[in-house]
Structure 1
């Protein structure tokens, strides 16, 4: 099992647009083979701090997810809404 966490902070004024885009793409992601969880959390209603949490059956499932057209389109759309790198970590859960 693979866990992906991302801490992200969109530029001022882009949080709602990002959440809308995430909610739109998540309906497709949750239908992908191997997707167990694909969620987003806000630190609070005011700040721009977001936490994304993904759970995948395997690295192969995650790789296939990242190669989908909807994820390529999503990243193209939302990348300009952020400054710098987001803090992403990938964990492999041993059985």
Structure 2
């Protein structure tokens, strides 16, 4: 039986003049986040055809692990400046996954 987990999928358009600051704040937390207890996967990508639009895809063992992540010292600086970095509103979805399959079979 599959264990339930949490998926965070976020899409953010970053102000062009804030791009370098966003990348600085976002990249510093990637490796430490991947080492966190409760993290299954953590990545962010820039959309190929949409400059300054980034997608976060995160998998967590549970909501508590995600909430603990948001309090980490390598994440809080990004969160503190996020409103100034983002252009428009953020699109964030959190899914509680109870059942899933792997592959397309």
| 1:41-52 equivalences in 2 (<5 Å) | 41-44=45-48, 47-52=51-56
User: How many residues are matched?
Assistant: 95
**TM-align CA RMSD:** 1.8
Match in the other structure for 1:5: 9
Q: Secondary structure at the match of 2:43?
A: strand
TM-score, normalised with respect to structure 1: 0.85
Match in the other structure for 2:75: 71
TM-score, normalised with respect to structure 2: 0.78
Q: Which has the higher helix share?
A: 1
Structure 2 residue runs of 5 or longer lacking an equivalent are 100-105
Match in the other structure for 2:102: none
Q: How many angstroms apart in 2 are the aligned matches of 1:74 and 1:47?
A: 20
- The answer on 1:19 being equivalent to 2:39 is no
